Amino acid sequence: MLDIGHIHRKEYGIDAGGTERIIIAEAPGRIHYLGEHGEPKAGLFLSSGIDRYIRVALSPRKDNSFRFYAPDLGERKRTTLANLKYKREDRWSNYLKTPIHGFLELGYPVKGLNVTVAGDIPLHTGLASSSAIEVAAGVALREFFKAPLSTDELLAQIILSQKTLFEKPGIPIDYAIALYAEEDCFLVADETTLTVRPVPANLGEYQIILMDSRVPRMGLDNELRIRRQALKKGLTLLAQKKTGTSLRDFVTADLIESMGNLPEEIRRRSMHIIQELRRICDAEEALLKGDLPALSKLIFHSHESLRDLYEVSCPEIDWLVKRGQETEGVLGSRMTGLGFGGCTYTILTPKAAEEYRRRIEDYERIFGFRPIMHTIKLAQGARII
């Protein structure tokens, strides 16, 4: 990753031997291994932070302006204290404005700032890079102001400021994961309570490969909206026979009993969610017991469910997962992210990684896209560096 401290000093003319205070913080990207297609605001996830980060450096200015620099993009943005609001053309710098707005609302003496942001989270792959920007900037500002804010309080303020600034809710669970992730741990992340529970990974020699399929995604928002509407209708129909406020309150047997009352498409969508919730609980139990074969089955079954019941996979993703299934030494392989392209993750031994790479050599010839492979580790949450 770029030396953000050196870049920040050079960009804003700060003497390396001077006394001017520069704060640098980082926040990790995140990956969901199970659960990302749950009900809005009622999701349950098996996730982790990953060792790909966004870093934010900031230092004070003598005026009331804000200067933002993204060396990875070669772009600069600016605004003032009086004009601190969301602007579509400001793109990435809007995420830096979120925590600045939050500390202003909390009454801290926010004045001008020089801000630099850089990172190595792969973009447009569903790894929560924008949330990492907001969290890293929030942690940096907390240190800058020596603010006596707990992590829970910081989380709540980022959520509130994002909603106020963007005039729409963000993805609060991504902030929680970025703040509370632990090294070498999976996280059971609960969207209803905004809490995360660390579970030691105990993967031994296994490593995790993230594969970016490079498949362009079109019409994604509409497809996902249709599926969320199906889940809402499914909940309404199920609640006619049994009290429940979310699909968490139902089990597979409830769907079977209501088969005649549920349209087939709604039944399949709801079935995926209900069974995925069970898989997350079972995965936590398997990890605590060190039962990796059980974890393997859950991961593969989850992908099959995303493919056949929720129908958000695609031929390219299925092909990559299939190559994983065929490779000896692979613990599990599954799509991750919003679907219709995006990424897969594969948990495998170093020896299996060599064979897996060989097996996917035909991917570009068959589909016309060159996949990008990243080896990742389960990483800790946001911190001052």
Rounded to whole angstroms, how far apart are CA atoms 333 and 325?
Answer: 7
* Whether 346 contacts 376, CB under 8 Å: no
User: How crowded is residue 175: how many other Cβ atoms within 10 Å of its Cβ?
Assistant: 27
| CA-closest candidate to residue 256, choices 274, 243, 244 | 274
- Catalytic one of 72, 120, 174, 282: 174
Two structure tokens written together for 24: 């640098």
Half-sphere exposure of 153 (CA within 13 A, CB side): 7
Kind of pairing between the strands at 207-212 and 372-376: antiparallel
Instruction: Provide the 3-class DSSP secondary structure of residue 250.
Output: coil
- The angle formed by the CA atoms of residues 64, 69 and 70, to the nearest 5 degrees, is 155
Instruction: Provide the 3-class DSSP secondary structure of residue 30.
Output: strand
Rounded to whole angstroms, how far apart are CA atoms 352 and 363?
Answer: 18
Place of tokens 């990890």: 287
| CA-closest candidate to residue 346, choices 210, 232, 214, 236 | 210
Q: Which long-range contacts (CB under 8 A, 24 or more apart) does 155-162 make?
A: 155/179, 155/194, 157/99, 157/102, 157/103, 157/105, 157/106, 158/98, 158/99, 158/102, 158/134, 160/102, 160/105, 161/98, 161/99, 161/101, 161/102, 161/105, 162/98, 162/134
190 catalytic residue (yes or no): no
Two structure tokens written together for 190: 């609960």
Beta bridge partners of 116: 57, 69
Kind of pairing between the strands at 113-119 and 44-60: antiparallel
DSSP state of 44: E
- Active site (catalytic) residues: 174
